[in-house]
Chains A and B, each alone.
Chain A
């Protein structure tokens, strides 16, 4: 159809059949091109979101019949200590994970120089992001391990008594976040390194002529030019903090006694783990997590749209 419409000689012979197409070509073509994408997006993103919300009103073990509960799952959430622990931990994650952004910037500034072998140093700093989160989790779990872990031994040597970070409900979340920061800093660093490559040298020169250096140079000249990199770094870090699941699962399995749970892990525990299969309750947790994510996602989209219009 499309082919015939663009060839006038043949189009003439088909003019009757392609009339509708011809008249609305401009309106329809974009939708046709979007159709595969929209279809996939609807099937794999929109539909599951709506289905989870729908499921959150039911009691369902994944096998038997569903029972309509209305808002009971949410009412239970409000009265569930484990939910508040997870929510609280999620907030700690969000706040502390943000450290990855300035830390990444600092390392990027430090590495942004021309010395022999700088590429090797850069790739070494980037290394933790390349290895799997599971490996990161295992390495840190051994690092913290009581009796033989390096960190445990170090604390024991300094204070006389070792601290088993992952067995102590006061420290466990911080211990996991520290493990998560390691690759996340590397990620932010690489974003800033590419950003630094694009900093306009003439502006730096001009600033230097005007007498700017050190902190002033960084704050007023370099950082504004790194804004796109900062934006992306914050976006990936927020998302990383909210979906922090693998490290919790590998390092503590939510323990000790559930004190290192985050929402995504609690959702998995309730809906899919060995002792769970409360699909409705898990879905309700997912909806709450989605609502929290929506706050950030809406902000990011709003900012992106505004920036695009501004340009």
Chain B
């Protein structure tokens, strides 16, 4: 909006001085014409936006003949508008997500195959941890620039107050819950109004009960939801839900509402992504009171899988300036740029040559992900197709309110699986 107004003012002033500076204006347009524009559509929050603008400025300084025009969208609005602009008025670069989330665009030919960028810059090695989630049909379809870990964030004061140790196994975790319950504290908090926070809990329950391979098979639709192993996952989960260890009324809470329960000491643990740290700290928590732990082990001896959603940049099939777009992607993939970006984002760089910030939660996340021998999942709504994700997350929410409905929920998910994966 502001931009339109500015342009309008500029046009006005331009008109009034047009006669006087006609020659000058002509020169200016000629100089502009030599620059190639690179149109980039993105959905950054303010802090990441500033970081990206700085990185873009450096890219432009190194390539004076390229002018990157960044058009920033609102986060939620972007998810719907991308479908429109990819078909109608395509930019040269667009933000999106890894895993199954990009599959519809890849399968319908909306994203360009950029395997050559990966091969030419040896990205298979430097971005190794994300290569699997960027690959469909043996080709790479985008460049990952950041990811972040999921895990359990906890209130250290509450642990001290109740007098329990940070658990390393599921049994210890459940034992702690009983003590928290006695003290009138929610052992695990969550806010599932927007559904996805519940999926984080399910992912970890399933990863820890059945392992990464099984979790991937399940989200890829290869295993029935009524399978005995899925029931085992829900049985473990029920140990948490049935005694009332999870915040009541979570279905009416936003994830930030639940975060304030943890901040106020009314809840002990929260399964969340690392982006929540900013919210905890805004609420007054510090590195001394906020703790992070990996989700405890349920089935002993399973290779440990973790959850780390990856954000990516792609070249739409309708891009007009493909050569420069590839140049930009290669630049974004470099270790230096990823270090800088993720310092500002407060997240983890994908490039293994990058440096991680001093923040203890980032360090912990880096440690967590780099030692995950099971594999890295993207998050339920990125690993599973969108429709399955929706039905699934509703099922998880219902389970956490009415655990007795588990059989009916699983049958419903199985029915959806039969329809969605063809």
Residues of A within 8 A of B (CB): 61-64, 76, 81, 144-147, 164-167, 169, 252-253, 255-258, 269, 272-278
Cross-chain contact A61 with B252 (CB below 8 angstroms): no
Determine whether B381 belongs to the interface, using a CB cutoff of 8 Å to chain A: yes
Cross-chain contact A255 with B193 (CB below 8 angstroms): yes
Minimum Cβ distance to chain B for residue A165 (Å): 8
Which residues of chain B are within 8 angstroms of A145 by Cβ–Cβ distance? 252
Q: Give the size of the chain B interface in residues (CB under 8 angstroms).
A: 33
Cross-chain contact A167 with B250 (CB below 8 angstroms): yes
Cross-chain contact B412 with A164 (CB below 8 angstroms): no
Cross-chain contact B248 with A146 (CB below 8 angstroms): yes
Which residues of chain B are within 8 angstroms of A144 by Cβ–Cβ distance? 252
The 20 sampled A-B contact pairs (Cβ below 8 Å) are A61-B104, A63-B83, A63-B87, A63-B104, A63-B108, A63-B110, A81-B412, A146-B249, A164-B252, A166-B251, A167-B251, A167-B253, A255-B193, A256-B192, A256-B401, A257-B397, A275-B381, A275-B386, A275-B390, A276-B387
Cross-chain contact B195 with A255 (CB below 8 angstroms): yes
Which residues of chain B are within 8 angstroms of A164 by Cβ–Cβ distance? 248-249, 251-252
Q: Given A253-B194, A275-B386, do A167 and B83 touch, yes or no (CB 8 Å)?
A: no
Residues of B within 8 A of A (CB): 76, 79-80, 83, 86-87, 104-105, 107-108, 110, 192-195, 248-253, 381, 386-387, 389-390, 394-395, 397-398, 401, 412, 419
Cross-chain contact B80 with A272 (CB below 8 angstroms): yes
Minimum Cβ distance to chain A for residue B172 (Å): 29
Which residues of chain A are within 8 angstroms of B194 by Cβ–Cβ distance? 253
Which residues of chain A are within 8 angstroms of B83 by Cβ–Cβ distance? 62-63, 277
Cross-chain contact B104 with A257 (CB below 8 angstroms): no
Which residues of chain B are within 8 angstroms of A63 by Cβ–Cβ distance? 83, 86-87, 104-105, 108, 110
Cross-chain contact B387 with A257 (CB below 8 angstroms): no
What is the interface of chain B mostly: helix, strand, loop, or mixed? Answer: helix
Cross-chain contact B251 with A255 (CB below 8 angstroms): yes
Which residues of chain A are within 8 angstroms of B252 by Cβ–Cβ distance? 144-146, 164-167, 256
Known A145-B252, A167-B249, A276-B390; further 17 A-B contacts with Cβ < 8 A? A61-B108, A63-B110, A64-B107, A76-B419, A81-B412, A146-B252, A164-B248, A164-B249, A164-B252, A166-B251, A167-B401, A253-B193, A255-B251, A256-B397, A257-B395, A257-B398, A274-B386
Minimum Cβ distance to chain A for residue B383 (Å): 13
Which residues of chain A are within 8 angstroms of B110 by Cβ–Cβ distance? 63
Give the CA-CA distance A257 to B193 in the complex, in Å: 9
Cross-chain contact B251 with A257 (CB below 8 angstroms): yes
Give the CA-CA distance A278 to B86 in the complex, in Å: 18
Give the CA-CA distance A164 to B105 in the complex, in Å: 40
Which residues of chain B are within 8 angstroms of A257 by Cβ–Cβ distance? 251, 394-395, 397-398, 401
Closest to A149 in B: B252
Most buried by B among A62, A81, A255, A278: A255
Which residues of chain B are within 8 angstroms of A167 by Cβ–Cβ distance? 249-253, 401
Which residues of chain A are within 8 angstroms of B251 by Cβ–Cβ distance? 164, 166-167, 255-257
Which residues of chain A are within 8 angstroms of B389 by Cβ–Cβ distance? 275
Minimum Cβ distance to chain A for residue B256 (Å): 13
Cross-chain contact A255 with B397 (CB below 8 angstroms): yes
Most buried by A among B192, B252, B419: B252
Closest to B420 in A: A278
* Residue among A165, A256, A272, A276 making CB contact with B386, cutoff 8 Å: A276
Minimum Cβ distance to chain B for residue A29 (Å): 41
Cross-chain contact B412 with A258 (CB below 8 angstroms): no
Closest to A166 in B: B252
Which residues of chain A are within 8 angstroms of B386 by Cβ–Cβ distance? 274-277
Give the CA-CA distance A166 to B249 in the complex, in Å: 9
Which residues of chain A are within 8 angstroms of B248 by Cβ–Cβ distance? 146, 164
Minimum Cβ distance to chain B for residue A83 (Å): 13
Which residues of chain A are within 8 angstroms of B390 by Cβ–Cβ distance? 269, 273, 275-276
